[in-house]
Structure 1
Amino acid sequence: MEPAGAAATRRVALVALAFHGNFSYVWLRALERALPGRRPAAVLAKVLCDQLLGAPVAVLAFYTGMSILQKKEDIFSDCRKKFWNTYKTGLMYWPFVQLSNFILVPVYLRTAYTGLCGFLWATFICFSQQSGDGTAKSAFVWFQREEEPAGRDRERDHASTAQSTPDVPMGVVLWALLLGLPSVNWAVLKLAFPVGLEIHRGTNCNLSVY
Structure 2
Amino acid sequence: MLRIALAKGRLESESISYLEKCGYTFPEKSDRKLLIRDSENNIELLSVKPLDVPIYVYSGIADIGICGTDSIVESGLSLIQPMKLPFGICSMVVASFPDFKFNGRRTKIATKFPISTKKYLSSKSIDADIIKLNGSVELAPVVGLADAIVDIVQTGRTLKEHGLTIIDEVYKISAMVCVNNVSYRTKRMDLQFFFDKLWKLLDS
Regarding TM over 0.5, the answer is no
More helix as a share of residues: 1
TM-score, length of structure 2 as denominator length? 0.28
With a CA cutoff of 8 Å and minimum separation of 6, indicate the structure with the bigger relative contact order: 1
